[in-house]
Amino acid sequence: MTERAIPCSDAVKQLWDYLDKVLSPEDQALVEGHLAFCRRCCGELEFAKELRSFLASNVVDEIPADVKERLERFMEEL
């Protein structure tokens, strides 16, 4: 592996941009590289995907409080 490893906190911060495909190819590769070995962030990616489809199918202005709380708790654990 020649790629730079990024910490979970960086991977999570970029997760949404990754899903939106707005990361530079370099950053995208870093996130993918991280997801390849980090189970926890993989779980978070699945969660973020579900959340996105939820937000896309529901006209809501805000992320539900419990979801937000979960995300915040995840960030604190890093």
Residues that bind Zn ion (CB under 5 A): 8, 11, 38, 41
Min dist. Cβ of residue 65 to Zn ion (A): 25
Closest CB to Zn ion among 64 and 72? Answer: 72
Closest CB to Zn ion among 44 and 56? Answer: 44
21-46: string of b/e by CB count within 10 Å (b at 16+)? Answer: eebeeeeeebbebbbeebeebeebbe
Contact 52, 19 (CB under 8 A): yes
Closest CB to Zn ion among 30 and 41? Answer: 41
